């Protein structure tokens, strides 16, 4: 079973925690991670891009000029895609980009990324995280103490408004709960920061 060090807010040792092999010591399936990321990004697409065909643009009706004798190319309608303000050929139309993954595959993708973060030493475990006031400076100081440069994803065991409001203005900090963690946010960060309680919640969800 993987064993990682636990630190406090001053980055001082605060013990160790033994992680579940099933969640944090699983085999990393990179293709499954790719599928999970693609599914997440596809599901975020609105799919509202639209263009008008020659049947939908204004104009048309009479033939622009007679077929022969003018010296110009033949034309039957000013709604042709060849004309300015004409219809668009094979343009985008509204569509649904939803890409659903089976629940078992989503869970296994999460196990893979958690295991990869542990293997690459990109996961930091805090003994606890509580704030007495809403202060962005405090959250920024915490990340500086822990030497977490770059994108950081913080996973809490429950929703905490003080922590959420203190960290929402930090561009490189993403705060999640075990209920809304997803593979994309974990893949897209340089460091993963968890509390002891969050690890317990995650293992309860992914060991089913």
Q: Domain range for residue 161?
A: 3-29+102-206
148 and 78 share a domain? no
Helix or strand or coil: residue 133? coil
Within a domain: residue 174? yes
Digit-coded pLDDT (tens) for 3-30: 889 999 888 988 889 999 999 999 999 9
79 and 138 share a domain? no
8 and 109 share a domain? yes
Please say whether the beta carbons of 105 and 32 come within 8 A. Answer: yes
79 and 129 share a domain? no
What is the distance between the alpha carbons of residues 72 and 94, in angstroms, rounded to a whole number?
Answer: 37
Domain count, the chain: 2
Within a domain: residue 40? no
What is the distance between the alpha carbons of residues 66 and 76, in angstroms, rounded to a whole number?
Answer: 9
Give 60's pLDDT tier (boundaries 50, 70, 90). Answer: confident
Predicted TM-score (pTM) above 0.75: yes
User: Looking at 58, 75, 96, which one is the last position of a domain?
Assistant: 96
Report pLDDT for 207.
83
Digit-coded pLDDT (tens) for 131-183: 889 999 999 999 999 999 889 999 998 888 999 999 999 999 999 988 889 99
What is the distance between the alpha carbons of residues 139 and 108, in angstroms, rounded to a whole number?
Answer: 31
Please say whether the beta carbons of 159 and 178 come within 8 A. Answer: no
Report pLDDT for 50.
96
89 and 107 share a domain? no
């Amino acid at each position: 079973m993987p064993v990682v060090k636990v630190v406090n807010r001053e980055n001082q040792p605060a013990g160790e925690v033994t992680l579940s092999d099933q969640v944090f010591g699983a085999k990393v399936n990179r293709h499954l991670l790719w599928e999970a990321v693609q599914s997440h990004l596809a599901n975020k697409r609105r799919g509202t891009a639209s263009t008008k065909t020659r049947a939908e643009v204004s104009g048309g009706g009479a033939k622009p000029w007679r077929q022969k004798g003018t010296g110009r190319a033949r034309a039957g309608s000013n709604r042709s895609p060849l004309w300015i303000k004409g219809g668009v050929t094979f343009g985008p139309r509204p569509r649904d980009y939803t890409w659903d993954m089976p629940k078992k595959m989503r869970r296994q993708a999460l196990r893979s990324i958690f295991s990869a973060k542990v293997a690459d030493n990109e996961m930091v475990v805090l003994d606890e995280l509580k704030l007495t006031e809403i202060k962005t400076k405090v959250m920024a100081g915490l990340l500086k103490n822990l030497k977490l440069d770059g994108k950081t994803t913080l996973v809490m065991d429950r929703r905490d408004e003080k922590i959420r409001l203190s960290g929402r203005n930090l561009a490189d900090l993403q705060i999640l709960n075990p209920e809304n963690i997803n593979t994309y946010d974990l893949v897209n960060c340089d460091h993963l920061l968890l509390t002891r309680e969050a690890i317990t919640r995650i293992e309860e969800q992914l060991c089913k």
